[in-house]
Amino acid sequence: MNARLSRQKGIIVLLFLGWFISSIDRMFINIAILPIGKELEMDAATFGIVLSIFYLGYTLMQIPGGLIADRYGSKMAIIVTILVFSLFAGLSGVAWSVTSLLVIRFFFGLGEGAFPGAATKLMSENVSPEKRSSTQSVLLVAIVLGGFVASIAGAYFITQIGWRNVYICLGIFGGITALLYMLFLRSDKTGPIEINQQEGKVSFVSLLKSPSMWKIMVALFGLYTAIWGLTSWVPSYLMNVRKLNLLDTGIYSSLPAIAGMIGYLVGGWLVDKVLVNRERLLIIYGNLLSAICIFGMFNVESLTMTILFQNMAAFFLQIAYMGILAVPLRLLPSTIMGSAFGMINTGANLAAFITPAVMGALIQLFNGSYYIAFSYLIVGTILSLIMGLLLGNVRNDIVQNHAGSKTA
């Protein structure tokens, strides 16, 4: 028992580290794009495309990456994806033109796209279903913590060694992380016996036939429209509209990461301890309160109130996210978790690909005004809220598909 618990804790630590370094690599562009855009002479539309292109590759790899993890094992998938995205993180530091940067960032996204499904599968193989949401919420803190570090430390190190050298360092750190996985993650299919016994088998085809899985996917698309719109364009808004300098922008942009971390933990606790089988409440009210906060954020004169509303929006968005994520984590077996997470995460990252480019085009179309662009984010939260209302008795849908796949 002690050996099993020790192994489980070791896996959680390794997964936390993997999520953390992947988040820094992914989020650093939101600060680095400011000096990159200046050096490579980008307009607002190009600015948005550079922010988005990573997520085209990232989105395309979500389902294939999950299938690879389910077929060949989570350990192998994690190590390979960390090595690949670390390589292209380093190559980002030698980009010589907008075109080269776009190509590098596309392959950067492809490399990192397999990580979420593989990491979630590894977690589910070692944690019982009733504890997966709270465990995943702890791991997802690493994503927000990575964004926090990318904003503050990224802004600082850009001023010290330049954005190119920061990217090269990130590539090196990623390689070290992959080495740690090779050395200390000894097996990838040795989850506790009682977890394996309580799980059946389910096919990827049955997931595609589940209306609830598609609703969850669309809900994440709407939610991530708001999340990534705020993440990618608030730094530019603070500099161009609020007239902050780069370092202050990095500091203010990092604060929602703290609010998001709290949101993850509170949401994970609520779905596992308080609102068991009632995740829809988090989806509905989390999105509603987020929409109100985003509206307040760009309709107040005070910088302090803008930052306050932004942080509140980040908190409620992650509350809603944990409500959405709880359903597949609790109901689906670890054998299909990579594919399942890849499927629903496709919705999230399709929004991450589309949103920055759409916002850039809207800002340019309306002569530098951010009002319509931020209003677009509210539409995303409303879409996610509607999917929460439509989910209905999701358990009957997924369990029936699950049962059907076992008898097939």
Question: pLDDT tens digits, residue range 137-158?
Answer: 778 778 878 877 887 787 778 8
Give the confidence band of 5 by pLDDT, cuts at 50, 70, 90.
low
Distance CA(85)–CA(79), nearest Å, equals 10
Q: Which pLDDT does position 405 carry in this prediction?
A: 47
Cα–Cα distances (Å) from 64 to 58, 82, 148, in that order, read 11, 16, 29
pLDDT reported for residue 397: 59
Kindly report the average pLDDT of the chain as a whole number. Answer: 79
Q: Which of 3-12, 119-128, 181-190, 236-245 has the highest mean pLDDT?
A: 119-128
Asked whether residue 224 carries a pLDDT value surpassing 80, the answer given is: yes
Contact 271, 279 (CB under 8 A): yes
pLDDT at position 194 over 50: no
Position 315 scores a pLDDT of: 92
- What angle is formed at CA 305 by the lines to CA 304 and CA 308, rounded to 5 degrees? 90
Average pLDDT over residues 329-347: 76
Q: Identify the band that residue 292 occupies on the pLDDT scale cut at 50, 70 and 90.
A: very high
Give the span between the Cα atoms of 158 and 38, in whole angstroms: 13
Is pLDDT above 70 for 346? yes
Query: Where do the domains of the chain lie, and which CATH numbers do they carry?
Result: 2-184+199-407 (1.20.1250.20)
Of 402 and 338, the structure prediction assigns the larger pLDDT to 338
Per-residue pLDDT tens digits for 81-92: 888 888 888 888
Using CA atoms, how far apart are residues 311 and 188, in angstroms rounded to an integer? 38
Q: Are 151 and 143 in contact, with CB atoms under 8 Å apart?
A: no
- State yes or no: pLDDT of 289 exceeds 90: yes
Three-state secondary-structure class, residue 43: coil
Give residue 51's pLDDT. 74
pLDDT of residue 2: 61
pLDDT of 106 higher than 80? yes
The whole-number pLDDT of residue 273 equals 74
- pLDDT above 90 coverage of the chain, percent: 6
* Stretch among 26-30, 216-220, 240-244 having the lowest mean pLDDT: 240-244
CB atoms within 10 A of CB 187: 11
| Residue 281 CB partners (closer than 8 Å, separation 6+) | 275, 323
Tokens coding 371: 């009002």
Measured between alpha carbons, how far is 120 from 126 in angstroms, rounded to an integer?
10
Report the alpha-carbon distance of residue 10 to residue 187 in Å, rounded: 12
Please give the pLDDT value at position 401.
Answer: 53
- The whole-number pLDDT of residue 193 equals 44
Name the residue with higher pLDDT: 250 or 138: 138
Task: Tell me the backbone φ, ψ of residue 28, rounded to 5 degrees.
Answer: -60, -30
Q: Which residues of 162-185 are buried (b: 16+ CB within 10 A; e: fewer)?
A: ebbebbbebbeebbebbeebeeeb
Task: Give which of 72, 147, 156 is closest to 117, Cα–Cα.
Answer: 72
Given a cut of 70, is residue 102 above it in pLDDT? yes
User: pLDDT band at 203, cuts 50/70/90?
Assistant: low
- Asked whether the predicted pLDDT for residue 393 surpasses 70, the reply is no
Whole-structure pTM value: 0.71
Q: What angle do CA 200, 64, 57 make, to 5 degrees?
A: 145
Burial of 150 (0-12, 13-18, 19+ CB in 10 A): buried
pLDDT at 190: 46
pLDDT tens column, 354-391: 887 788 788 878 877 777 888 888 999 999 999 888 87
Angstrom distance (rounded) from CA 387 to CA 51: 27
Q: Is the pLDDT of residue 40 over 70?
A: yes
Residue 259: pLDDT over 90: no
What is the pLDDT confidence band of residue 399, given thresholds at 50, 70 and 90? Answer: low
pLDDT score of 111 more than 90:
no
pLDDT at 288 over 90: yes
320 touches 282 (CB < 8 A) = yes
Give residue for tokens 């394996």: 196
Q: Check whether 66 has a pLDDT greater than 60.
A: yes
pLDDT on residue 202 = 61
